């Protein structure tokens, strides 16, 4: 190929590049060619709409087996007397009696969620029990904190579960308050000041 032809071709290529560059400058924000546009704008399917992509034809897929919601701590107990006993052996209250704030919160939880049946001093004489609801025991048997936690969580006999109303922290705090109530009762029985 003669040198002159090469030069002409190179000049044309140069001019074409300049022209393209100039034309492209008009709409710099908008790409003319999109490679894999689905990656830029994914198709948003409605949760309950059918979906051919999945084997069961549904958009909303079940979580993988064993998935735990963020923040949830599993509690490995069943609502059985055996597991209530096991909870008593295995679980301990994370709060101690010298924790003023926890006690305060526990007192408030007790007044709002337990007193109606169990009564102010836990003698089983709350207003609900006095009006005919099967009363809780007047002299509750001594049980461990963990077993109490199990009873509050899963219920027992006529005592309904409070897992839906009370966070785990609140359940432990109300147990703490019950322990402080017991200490007061013991002190009173011994003739000391309440």
How near is the Cβ of 74 to ligand HEC at its closest, in Å?
22
Cβ neighbours for 171, distance < 8 A, ≥ 6 positions apart? 149, 152, 153, 162
Asked if 174 is part of the footprint of ligand HEC (rule: CB under 6 A), the reply reads yes
Contact 132, 62 (CB under 8 A): no
Nearer CB in complex with ligand HEC: 51/155: 155
Q: List the structure tokens of 81.
A: 């007397």
Asked if 87 is part of the footprint of ligand HEC (rule: CB under 6 A), the reply reads no
Q: List the structure tokens of 19.
A: 């022209």
Asked if 105 is part of the footprint of ligand HEC (rule: CB under 6 A), the reply reads no
Nearer CB in complex with ligand HEC: 45/75: 75
* Contacts with ligand HEC, 108-147, as mask; x by CB under 6 A: -----xx-xxx---------x----xx-xx--x--x----
Q: Is 76 helix (H, G, I), strand (E, B) or coil?
A: coil
Contact 151, 133 (CB under 8 A): no
How big is the site for ligand HEC, counted in residues (CB under 6 A)? 22
Asked if 84 is part of the footprint of ligand HEC (rule: CB under 6 A), the reply reads no
Number of Cβ atoms within 10 Å of the Cβ of 172: 24
Cβ neighbours for 179, distance < 8 A, ≥ 6 positions apart? 97, 145
User: Can you give the binding site for ligand HEC, defined by CB under 6 A?
Assistant: 113-114, 116-118, 128, 133-134, 136-137, 140, 143, 148, 151-152, 156-160, 162, 174
């Amino acid at each position: 190929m003669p040198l002159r032809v090469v030069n002409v071709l190179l000049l044309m290529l140069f001019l074409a590049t300049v022209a393209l560059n100039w034309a492209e400058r008009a709409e710099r924000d908008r790409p003319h060619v999109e490679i894999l546009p689905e990656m830029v704008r994914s198709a948003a399917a409605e949760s309950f709409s059918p979906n051919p992509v999945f084997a069961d034809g549904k958009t909303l897929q079940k979580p993988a087996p064993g998935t735990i919601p963020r923040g949830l701590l599993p509690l490995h107990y069943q609502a059985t007397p055996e597991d209530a006993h096991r909870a008593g052996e295995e679980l301990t209250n994370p709060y101690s009696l010298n924790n003023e704030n926890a006690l305060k919160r526990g007192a408030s939880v007790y007044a709002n969620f337990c007193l109606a049946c169990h009564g102010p001093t836990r003698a089983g004489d709350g207003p609900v029990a006095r009006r005919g609801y099967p009363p809780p025991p007047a002299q509750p048997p001594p049980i461990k904190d963990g077993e109490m936690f199990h009873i509050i969580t899963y219920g027992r006999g006529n005592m309904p579960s409070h897992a839906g109303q009370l966070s785990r922290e609140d359940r432990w705090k109300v147990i703490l308050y019950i322990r402080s109530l017991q200490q007061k009762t013991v002190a009173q029985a011994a003739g000391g000041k309440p």
